[in-house]
Chain A
C-alpha cells in the first residue's frame, strides 16, 4: 500500500528472516508447532483447510498485482510497443540495458536519488530521535499525548496536500514572501528554486513524517528501566551523563536497525512528492529514478527502455535490502526484538 510506513516497515522486515531460519516464534508456541508439524500432510490440510482458505484472497491479489507484473518485466528485453503487444514485440536482448547504462539522464537520476537519500539521512533521520527525547522528558502525560497527536497528524496528509501547504507558506505568494514584502524586503520563492530544492523536499519530509517517526523511539525509551536512571543518579551522573550512558545505549539497537533499513531502501525517494514539484524546479534538480521511469516509459512511450531502468532499480534495491539485512544481523538485530 502506498502508505507503507518506512520506519515501521523497517522494524517489520527482519521478521521473515527469523522465520526462514527456522526459529519461528516465541518459545511457548514452539511445542505446538512441533506437534503440528508431526501430523501428516493430509491431516494437516484437512485440519487447516479454513486457515489456508482465509489466505487465498490475499494470495490471489498478490499473484495478480505483484507477481504477474514481475513477469511483465520481460518487456525490458523487448522493443515493446503496447500497440503490438508482448507476444509480437521484437526481442532485443540486453539492448535496453546497455542504452540505459550509457544514458547520462539515467545516471543523473541515480545521482539525484542518492544525494537526496544521503541528505535526508543526515538531516531528517536524527530529528525524530531528538523529538522523542524531548517528549519523553515531559512530565505531564496529558501534554505529552496532546503534542504527540499534533505531530503525528501530517503523516496522514497526502503529498498533494503537503506540497499545497508548503506552497501557501513558502511559495511566491505565500506567508513568508508576504511578510518579507510587508517589511519592504525582497520576496523569495523557495518552491521554485532548484538550488534549494534539496532543503525544500527534506523539510517537507520532516514536516510530514518526523512526528510519526518518533513512535518507535518513544517505545524504546519507555522500555528503559527507570531504576537504571536512579542508579546512575545515585552514582552522581548528571543529566547529560545519564543520557549518554543509559538513554542512548538503549536506543542504539533501534537506530542501527532503522539506519540500515533506510540504506536498503535508498533508491526510493518520494515519487509523488517529486513529481508534483518537477515542473516548478525542473528535471535537473528533481529527476530521480522513479520519475525517470515514468517520464521515459509512460510519457515518452519508450516502454522497454523504462522497464529496463525500473528493473535495474528493482534488482539493485533487492541486493541492498538483503545486504542491509545481513548488516542488521551483524549488529545484533535480536537486540531490537528482545525488548518485547
Chain B
C-alpha cells in the first residue's frame, strides 16, 4: 500500500532547508516524547538510591547501576504474584476470545447462510447500545463471579469489533479455493482450520494482540470484581505502588521508609511494559494490514 520507492519522484521539488529542519525537529520531538520518559523510567529503576537522590528524582544521566529494585520485587512476592495473575488471565482470556471470535467470524463469513442476518444483527446491536455499568455489575455479582478470575475474562471476552475485522478478512478470501474444498467434501471446520486460518496469520495475530493487550491492561474490572488482594492483576498493583505510593512487602527490610522507593516504583512500571514490548515487534508489521482490511471490508 505504501510507496515502495525511496527516491524522490522527478516532478517533486526538493523542499527548502527550513522545511526539512522543521520536519525533522517535529518528528524527533514526537519520538522523544514517547521514548524519553520510558528511557528515564528504565534508567531510574536501575539506579541506586544515591544516584536518584543526587538527580533529585527521575534519573536522566546514568549513574550507579543496580538491580536492587528488581531483587526487591522478586523477594516481595506481591508483584511477581500479580504478574502471574495477569499472565494467566491474559493467556486464558486471549485463547478463549480468539477461539470464540474466529469461530463466530467464520460462521458469519458467508452472507445468505442460515440465520446469517439475525445473528449478525445480534452482534452489531451491542455496538450501538451498551447496558451500562450498574446492570453489568449486578449481572456479574448475580452469577457469583465476584472475586473469581472469570470476572476478569468473561464480561470482556468478545469484542464485536474484532469479530467484524476477522469476518471482513475471511470474506475476502478467494471463494474458489473454499468452494473447491467444499466440493472435495471438506467440512467447514476443516476448511477453517486447514485453509482459512493459515491464510489469515497476520490478521489473527493482530486481533490476538488486541485481545491480549486488553486483558493485560484491564484495571477497573479488577477494582470492581476482585476483593482478595492476592488475586489482583498487575495494573491494580501498579496503581497502588506508583500512583498511590503504597508500600511493597519485603521493602521494610531494606529500611526505606513507608513508601516504595522511586527505583522500585519504576521497576514495577518496567515489569508492566516488558510483556507488551516482547510481543509488539512480532505483530507490529501487520497492524496496517490487519486493521485496514477490517476497516475497509467491514
Instruction: Please list the residues of chain B having a beta carbon within 8 angstroms of any beta carbon in chain A.
Output: 1-4, 6-9, 11-13, 15, 23, 26-27, 30-31, 33-35, 37-38, 40-41, 44, 55-58, 60, 97, 99-101, 103-104, 106-108, 110-115, 117, 119-124, 126-139, 141, 143, 154-165, 168, 171, 175, 187-189, 192, 209-211, 213-214, 216-221, 224, 235, 238-239, 242-243, 266, 269, 272-273, 276, 280-281, 284-285, 287-288, 291-292, 294-298
Contacts and interface: CB of A to CB of B under 8 A. Distances in A.
Interface size class of A (residues with CB under 8 A): 35 or more
A174 B243 contact: no
Given A14-B298, A61-B157, A140-B6, A52 B115 contact: yes
Nearest to B97: A1
Interface in A44-98: 44-45, 47-55, 57-59, 61-62, 64-73, 75-76, 82, 86
A141 B4 contact: yes
Contacts of B114: 41, 44-45, 47-49, 51-52
A154 B164 contact: no
Interface stretch (A101-109, A114-122, A225-233): A225-233
Contact of A216 (B15, B128, B295): B295
A11 B295 contact: yes
A173 B137 CA distance: 37
A215 interface: yes
Interface of A: 1-5, 8-9, 11-16, 18-20, 24-25, 28-29, 32-37, 41, 44-45, 47-55, 57-59, 61-62, 64-73, 75-76, 82, 86, 131, 134-135, 137-141, 144-145, 147, 149-154, 156-161, 163-165, 167-169, 173-175, 177-178, 181-182, 207, 211, 215-216, 218-219, 222-223, 226, 229-230, 233-234, 238-239, 271-272, 275-276, 290, 293-294, 297-298, 303, 306-307, 310-311, 313-315, 317-318, 321-322, 337, 339-340
27 contacts: A3-B210, A3-B213, A5-B161, A9-B161, A11-B298, A16-B127, A24-B112, A36-B111, A51-B107, A52-B114, A57-B100, A61-B157, A64-B143, A82-B138, A141-B3, A153-B280, A160-B217, A161-B272, A168-B58, A169-B58, A216-B295, A219-B296, A272-B220, A290-B133, A297-B137, A314-B132, A317-B130
Contact residues of B: prevailing secondary structure: helix
Given A12-B295, A161-B238, A161-B272, A61 B100 contact: yes
Most A C-beta atoms less than 10 A away, residue of B58, B209, B238, B295: B295
Most A C-beta atoms less than 10 A away, residue of B2, B130, B138, B266: B138
Contacts of A271: 220
Contact of A25 (B7, B158, B171): B171
Given A134-B26, A307-B135, A16 B295 contact: no
B298 A12 contact: yes
A293 B134 contact: yes
B129 A164 contact: no
Contacts of A216: 291-292, 295
Contacts of A36: 110-113
B210 A1 contact: yes
Contacts, number: 366
B292 A160 contact: no
Most A C-beta atoms less than 10 A away, residue of B104, B211, B266: B104
A314 B123 CA distance: 17
